[in-house]
Structure 1
Amino acid sequence: MTLLQITTSSAVDTVGTANGEEAVSIIDLLMKGGYMMLPIVILSILAISIFVERMLTLKKASKTPGQFIDKIRNLVLGGDINGARLICSQTDTPIARMIEKGISRIGSPLKNIEVSIENVGKIEIYRLEKNLSLLATISGAAPMMGFLGTVTGMIQAFIAIAQEEGSVSPKLLSEGIYEAMITTAAGLLVGIVAYLAYNYLVAKVQKLVHSMEYTSIDFIDLLQEPR
């Protein structure tokens, strides 16, 4: 039993040491990427910030109560316009703001109501898509910065080789190459993650826009029902 405990403890210590060395080596590897790693790290932080902020915004924007349009329908058909506007004002979503604008135009020609709802919808879509273009730019800029860092790193490596007197050691050549390739790997990683995040957010926005369009059409149909 004692021998088993000693063996297990030794194995755990070995794994812990190996993991520690691996973590340190990865950090050292990133530090050797050169000055081009700085903008790549900044872009990664910016991409994460945009993704989290947009996710919270879209999650809040999609929280329209399930019975919202039914309550609006009953109040409008019952002639309680102020009550319908009050419900809209208490619901902080793009759909509610569009419907509130339409309710405020009740009594005007139907075309004017449609235009007013459409204008509010365009403003809301612009808010939903805020910073998405920046995220798309990051997905393309990060790999290019990585490639630039590789090129500059290779140039420095070849300069060091040219300044080396006598035969060039394979260690010197390999170190210069792998340090230069670090920026490419980092740039590609940030670019791929940003690209996936951008497409995911675009899909979420499109889903919300379809819901806004459907609700606005439903509201226009409501105004045309006989009272």
Structure 2
Amino acid sequence: MFEIITAGGWLMVPIILCSILVIAIGGERYWTLDPKKIAPRHLLAQVWSWIKNNQLDAGKLRELKQSSPLGRILAAGLSNSRHGREVMKDSIQEAASQVIHEMERYLTILSTIANIAPLLGLLGTVIGMIKVFTAIMLQGTGNAGVLAGGISEALITTAAGLTVAIPAMILHRFFQRRVDTIVVTMEEEAVKLVDALHSDRRVDVKAN
């Protein structure tokens, strides 16, 4: 393996660094973007129970805010619920924007790696072919070892770049899809809470 990396030339260094970033970000985001941690299923039912039993005070709001990202969103809305439906919705949207921004952290890096890793491989290919043609120009086609070394460098960097880019692209789309799914869930829970507090129609806020 070390011989292959060495044969790939100096461009293997940034490609390997990109691969380490992909692994690290993938593990961190998989642990962080846990739907059960971000949007607990029974949280809204618990909040509604506090409201019905007149237990919702500053302490409960603080507990709710610290419990989960969904709790932060619901707490923001409840803190401004007395000011009317629109103010409550604006508070929820503002808190949700911050939560979504945090959930999408590092996903841009994955997307960037997915785009630049093949380019690094292509650059390695170009450099390898330049070495090949330079060797041909200086030594002719008789030195097979030099020619093989340049071609090998070109192929190794190309393969390494694609090997890093493909998982990076898969992980980016996987986590982006997970974020979108969690956002939809949080929106549904927030809408239920707003409707329950500021609507004449009956709304079921129990967990599904």
Q: TM-score, structure 2 length as denominator?
A: 0.87
Match of 2:128 in 1: 153
CA–CA distance in 2 between the matches of 1:160 and 1:35? 19
The code of the aligned residue for 1:178 comes to: S
CA–CA distance in 1 between the matches of 2:128 and 2:150? 7
Percent identical pairs in the alignment equals 32
**Correspondent of 1:176 among 146, 150, 165:** 150
Is the contact between residue 65 and residue 72 of structure 2 (CA under 8 Å) also seen in structure 1? yes
Match of 1:205 in 2: 179
Match of 1:89 in 2: 65
Match of 1:30 in 2: 5
Match of 1:11 in 2: none
Is the contact between residue 99 and residue 117 of structure 1 (CA under 8 Å) also seen in structure 2? yes
Is the contact between residue 84 and residue 103 of structure 1 (CA under 8 Å) also seen in structure 2? no
Larger radius of gyration: 1
Is the contact between residue 61 and residue 94 of structure 1 (CA under 8 Å) also seen in structure 2? no
CA–CA distance in 1 between the matches of 2:87 and 2:79? 11
Match of 1:49 in 2: 24
CA–CA distance in 1 between the matches of 2:66 and 2:97? 21
Aligned runs of 1:66-105 on 2, under 5 Å?
66-82=41-57, 84-91=60-67, 93-105=68-80
Match of 2:205 in 1: none
**Correspondent of 1:191 among 157, 165, 184:** 165
Q: TM-score, structure 1 length as denominator?
A: 0.81
Match of 1:120 in 2: 95
The code of the aligned residue for 2:182 comes to: L
CA–CA distance in 1 between the matches of 2:154 and 2:62? 61
The code of the aligned residue for 2:20 comes to: I
Is the contact between residue 98 and residue 216 of structure 1 (CA under 8 Å) also seen in structure 2? yes
Q: Deviations over 1:108-142 (max 9, x none)?
A: 11110011011100110011001211110100100
The code of the aligned residue for 1:88 comes to: L
Q: Deviations over 1:58-100 (max 9, x none)?
A: 1277354432211111211233221642541351x21100011
**Correspondent of 1:216 among 171, 190, 200:** 190
- Stretches of structure 1 that go unaligned for 5 or more consecutive residues are 1-25
| Deviation of 1:30 (Å) | 1.9
- Residue 141 (structure 1) aligned with residue 112 (structure 2): no
CA–CA distance in 2 between the matches of 1:196 and 1:146? 18
Three-state SS of the structure 1 residue aligned to 2:105 is: coil
- Residue 40 (structure 1) aligned with residue 30 (structure 2): no
- Stretches of structure 2 that go unaligned for 5 or more consecutive residues are 203-208
